[in-house]
Structure 1
Amino acid sequence: MKDLFYAIQDFFVDVAFAPLDMLRFLELENWFLANGVNWLFMIIGAIAMVYWMIQLKGFNDNNEEDKSISSHSYL
């Protein structure tokens, strides 16, 4: 059983996270390139937020939302 956990450790240390190790060495040369993964996530998040706001505006313009004062029957 111990060999199984060592195999999992070897896979993640030597194979799965190898690209991230390369980014650590790039940090000394180019900060923007080393943080490319972070920039990618920020761009995806910004695009998702803009898409979500456009969808909310579309629903608001069509008056599809129930804007009554009490949204639940028990209120």
Structure 2
Amino acid sequence: MNRYTASHWGICEVHESWFDPGDGIGKHGNPNVLTADRPASKLSQGCSAQTCLVSVERWHGPLPDVTAFTLPEFVQA
């Protein structure tokens, strides 16, 4: 499923998904890695507007495995 769509020339929409960091890339398309981590106001403490300037380029290598849904290893108590 394509997580990134171009609705208009020069506009990139990123659909919400799970955080899955890769080696310098976001493997699953979470927009929170692109926006600043600061509140909208002292009153709301909500996230700032989901807008930012990005540079998008085509990925030419093999796609990395999405591991957002892979359970971590559990330690036996």
TM-score for the superposition, normalised by structure 2:
0.21
TM-score for the superposition, normalised by structure 1:
0.21
Bigger RCO (CA 8 Å, 6+ sep): 2
